[in-house]
């Protein structure tokens, strides 16, 4: 077999392949066996019919067609390997010439990974925002902690904002009760907006035992999105009493003896969280920086598939949440044209990032060991709410393991870039990343070389399809 490569664009090539007829013999024999097992010829057992008899009964053409269809994928793969083509996706194959018992010629156009010239990877400069912790943020954390230890006390007065109430709901449409929209004994905090539009306004001012009817739209069921009448009856009113933030509270709610110690711990925890956020911002900033320094052509077919996959994922998420695309656009304050443009841009950036990180991994000879893959599977399982064994089985059954390996390798490539970059905050201070631990604290730089914070996740905009 002879093959040559013709470049059609930076992201597409054309393979031209010529195959002597004798190289088709294994596929031709397989075609005769296949067809011979499907037909009945008096005097011959199934599967034992001579080729010349099959030619007489079925014709040479169907045999050759099946043989060529069997041979083409193997011949194409061999041509890709021989010419070291970095193919992406499915090729467009065209049989250009076929002479029985002489030769087969075909061409295959396929998208390829573009050739990328990386800049110097040491000393890339990027900037992130300063870490800032406000008194308001600390107060919010303390307030949340006080609410966890608060108590609900019944009151004999009208419902007010932030009260906790027990209520019954009954929805009707044109006077007919909607069976799936009936509820009793629901607990609800006024002002949370977690049930129905208009409910907060309806219950304000009511006392236990009083009812009110209002018009709203259901968020699910057969009448989703339609106006219905909802009768709400308040059966109990409670207000939350919060404990004072003092030393006694600190001893009850934490391992600390004083309120000052607890408050200092809250600040420390916020600081650690901010460091991790800053590390994530640094990772994204370094990746964005390198993408501005390289020219990365994006294959049209790959981009089309990526956009389609992302849109499909979004549609599934909207379906789970009970929201349609129009409502989503309204919430995002985007037109459909703006959304499509933004989706295309994010898809392009994700593909470019994939190409760059794959090349960095190749140049640095990065690999994945069993422990790293296992840890990555555990993180995926935790995010998916399933056991690691279940997720691993799903990955094997759906051939997702290569994609998971690629995610880890790209994460390590990004960690390499971040480690060798110079990242500063808005005040000009260098951001320490090499010794940042996954909990937001710092390791002893002389005792351990830590890269988990940068490698913990793959890029923020990982392509939907590897």
What percentage of the chain reaches a pLDDT higher than 90? 79
How confident is residue 221, by pLDDT bands cut at 50, 70 and 90?
Answer: confident
Q: How far apart are CA 194 and CA 191, in angstroms?
A: 8
pLDDT at 444: 66
pLDDT at 452 over 70: no
Q: How far apart are CA 92 and CA 299, in angstroms?
A: 14
Q: How many CB atoms lie within 10 A of CB 102?
A: 9
How confident is residue 193, by pLDDT bands cut at 50, 70 and 90?
Answer: confident
Q: Where in the sequence of the chain do the CATH 1.10.3120.10 domains occur?
A: 270-424
The alpha carbon torsion through 307, 309, 313, 314 (nearest 10 deg) reads 20
Q: Where in the sequence of the chain do the CATH 3.30.70.1050 domains occur?
A: 2-111
Q: How far apart are CA 94 and CA 101, in angstroms?
A: 19
Average of pLDDT values for 40-66?
A: 90
* CATH class for the domain made up of 270-424: mainly alpha
Tens digit of pLDDT for each residue in 301-318?
999 999 999 999 999 988
Classify 429 as helix, strand or coil: coil
| CATH code of the region 2-111 | 3.30.70.1050
Radius of gyration of the chain, Cα coordinates, nearest whole angstrom: 32
pLDDT at 448 over 50: no
How confident is residue 327, by pLDDT bands cut at 50, 70 and 90?
Answer: confident
The domain defined by 151-241 folds into: Chitinase A; domain 3 (3.10.50)
Classify 120 as helix, strand or coil: coil
Tens digit of pLDDT for each residue in 109-151?
999 999 999 999 998 999 999 999 999 999 999 999 999 999 9
Mean pLDDT of the chain: 90
pLDDT at 347: 96
How confident is residue 442, by pLDDT bands cut at 50, 70 and 90?
Answer: confident
pLDDT at 192 over 50: yes
Average of pLDDT values for 49-58?
A: 91
337 is written with which tokens? 């044209």
Tens digit of pLDDT for each residue in 374-398?
999 999 999 888 999 999 999 999 9
| CA–centroid distance for 119 within its chain | 29
């Amino acid at each position: 077999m002879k093959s040559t490569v013709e470049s059609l664009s930076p992201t597409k090539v054309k393979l031209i392949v010529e195959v002597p007829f004798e190289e088709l013999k294994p596929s031709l024999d397989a075609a005769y066996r296949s067809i011979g097992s499907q037909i009945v010829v008096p005097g011959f057992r199934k599967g034992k019919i001579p080729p010349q008899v099959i030619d007489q009964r079925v014709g040479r053409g169907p045999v050759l067609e099946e043989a060529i269809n069997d041979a083409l994928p193997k011949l194409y793969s061999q041509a890709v390997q021989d010419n070291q083509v970095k193919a992406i996706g499915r090729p467009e194959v065209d049989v250009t010439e076929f002479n029985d018992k002489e030769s087969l010629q075909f061409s295959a156009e396929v998208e390829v990974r573009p050739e990328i010239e990386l800049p110097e990877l040491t000393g890339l400069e990027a900037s992130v925002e300063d870490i800032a912790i406000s008194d308001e943020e600390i107060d919010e954390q303390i307030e949340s902690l006080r609410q966890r230890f608060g108590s609900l006390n019944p009151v004999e007065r009208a419902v007010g904002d932030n009260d906790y109430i027990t209520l019954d709901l009954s929805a009707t449409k044109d006077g007919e009760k909607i069976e799936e929209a009936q509820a009793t004994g629901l607990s609800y905090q006024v002002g949370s907006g977690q049930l129905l539009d208009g409910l907060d306004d309806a219950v304000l001012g009511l006392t236990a035992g009083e009812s009110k009817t209002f018009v709203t739209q259901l968020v699910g069921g057969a009448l989703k999105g339609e106006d219905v009448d909802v009768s709400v009856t308040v059966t109990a009113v409670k207000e939350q009493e919060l404990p004072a933030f003092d030393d006694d509270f600190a001893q009850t709610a934490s391992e600390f003896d004083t309120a000052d110690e607890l408050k200092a711990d809250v600040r420390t925890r916020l600081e650690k969280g901010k460091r991790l956020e800053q590390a994530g911002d640094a990772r994204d900033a370094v990746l964005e920086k390198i993408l501005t320094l390289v020219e990365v052509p994006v294959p049209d077919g790959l981009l089309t598939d990526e956009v389609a996959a992302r849109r499909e994922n979004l549609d599934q998420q909207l379906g789970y949440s009970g929201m349609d695309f129009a409502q989503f656009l309204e919430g995002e304050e985007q037109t459909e044209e703006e959304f499509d443009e933004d989706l295309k841009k994010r898809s392009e950036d994700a593909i470019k990032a994939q190409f760059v990180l794959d090349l960095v991994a190749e140049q640095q000879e990065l690999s994945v060991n069993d422990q790293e893959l296992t840890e990555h599977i555990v993180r995926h399982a935790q995010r998916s709410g399933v056991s690691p064994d279940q997720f691993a089985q799903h990955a094997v059954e759906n051939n997702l393991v290569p994609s998971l390996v690629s995610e880890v390798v790209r994460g390590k490539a990004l960690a390499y870039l971040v480690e060798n970059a110079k990242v500063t905050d808005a005040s000009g201070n260098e951001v320490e990343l090499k010794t940042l631990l996954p909990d937001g604290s710092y390791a002893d730089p002389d005792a351990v070389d830590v890269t988990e914070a940068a490698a913990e996740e793959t890029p923020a905009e990982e392509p939907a399809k590897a």
